[in-house]
């Protein structure tokens, strides 16, 4: 149980981040959600987590492009709850283009949101974790932290970068009761993925099943999507005392993708 612990989860208004929020709240942790989206929908999400799990839940609108807002998200949470015990860096965006056409602004945004934001949350949260002698830092990396695909230069670079950040910080805090790990999912069934299907069906004259199996899951030997709940369950385990010796690890949850 994570009663009396507080978790800050970036990019948790949808998809994997929202699953982390619900799974940690189910263990009794207070939750700070963060991310973009419609204000009314976010408030529904926030109040739903609080009432369903009987925990406190607040929302930080910090933009992961802005270092000062990111640092304030952590210090505000420490002031409101007394501590940030669990930090999950999860916010992320994607852009697909060959290197010679890759928009410079997209490169900068992906490096900022998918990598640098984690530097800013971690550097702000670590002093409190060290002082209390307990902490869990989990970075949502990707199979693309371990292997590459063409046309994803910024995403693959950011995810390989977060693998390096994970290992480095793990060494720095190894004797302070703080673990730092990266979860490396393959294709996960999220709204982001779901919304690509109708266009791909039209463009390639395929059925929904063909798009899922032959396009999206071409790299995934199980031919099954990873579910957000499976990813969240791994995060819950990493927060447990049983996982105290797992640190600096890059943990694939990818249906066999990176075994090939």
CB-based contact 15:36 (threshold 8 Å): no
Residue with tokens 């890759």: 102
64 is an interface residue for ligand NAD by CB under 6 A? yes
Q: Is 155 a catalytic residue?
A: yes
User: Residue 174 and residue 163: Cα distance in Å, rounded?
Assistant: 16
Q: How far apart are CA 251 and CA 244, in angstroms?
A: 15
147 binds ligand NAD (CB under 6 A): no
Q: Is 102 left (phi over 0), alpha (psi -120 to 50) or beta?
A: beta
Give 176 or 224: the residue with its C-beta nearer to ligand NAD: 224
Choice from 193, 197, 233, 253 touching ligand NAD (CB under 6 A): 193
- For residue 142, state whether it binds ligand NAD (rule: CB under 6 A): yes
Q: Which of 58, 166, 179, 190 binds ligand NAD (CB under 6 A)?
A: 190
Q: Residues 7-46 vs ligand NAD: string with x where CB under 6 A?
A: ----xxxxxxx----------------xxxx---------
Token pair of 224 as six digits = 């099954």
- CB distance 10 to 36 below 8 Å: no
Residue 201: CB minimum distance to ligand NAD, A? 18
Q: How many residues bind ligand NAD (CB under 6 A)?
A: 29
Q: Distance (Å, rounded) from C-alpha 163 to C-alpha 184?
A: 9
Residues catalogued as catalytic: 155
Query: Where on the chain is the footprint of ligand NAD (CB under 6 A)?
Result: 11-17, 34-37, 63-65, 90-93, 113-114, 140, 142, 185, 187-188, 190-193
């Amino acid at each position: 149980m994570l009663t009396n612990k507080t978790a800050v989860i970036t990019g948790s208004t949808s998809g994997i981040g929202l699953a982390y929020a619900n799974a940690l709240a189910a263990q009794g942790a207070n939750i700070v959600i963060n991310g973009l989206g419609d204000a009314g929908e976010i408030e529904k999400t926030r109040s739903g987590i609080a009432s369903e799990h009987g925990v406190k839940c607040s929302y930080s609108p910090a933009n992961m492009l802005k270092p000062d807002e990111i640092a304030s998200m952590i210090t505000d949470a420490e002031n409101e709850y007394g501590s940030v015990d669990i930090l999950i860096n999860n916010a992320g965006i994607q852009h697909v283009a060959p290197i010679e056409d890759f928009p410079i602004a997209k490169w900068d945004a992906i490096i900022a949101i998918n990598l640098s934001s984690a530097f800013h949350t971690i550097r702000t949260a670590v002093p409190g974790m060290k002082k209390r002698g307990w902490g869990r830092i989990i970075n949502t990396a990707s199979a693309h932290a371990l292997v590459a695909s063409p046309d994803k230069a910024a995403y693959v670079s950011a995810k390989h970068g977060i693998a390096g950040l994970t290992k480095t910080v793990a060494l720095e805090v190894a004797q302070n009761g703080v673990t730092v790990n990266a979860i490396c999912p393959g294709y996960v069934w999220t709204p982001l993925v779901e919304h690509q299907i109708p266009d791909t069906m039209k463009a390639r004259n395929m059925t929904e099943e063909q798009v899922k199996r032959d396009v999206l899951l071409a790299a995934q030997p199980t031919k099954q999507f990873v579910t957000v709940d499976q990813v969240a369950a791994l995060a819950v385990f990493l927060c447990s005392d049983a996982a105290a010796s797992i640190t600096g690890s890059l943990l694939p949850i990818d249906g066999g993708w990176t075994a090939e």
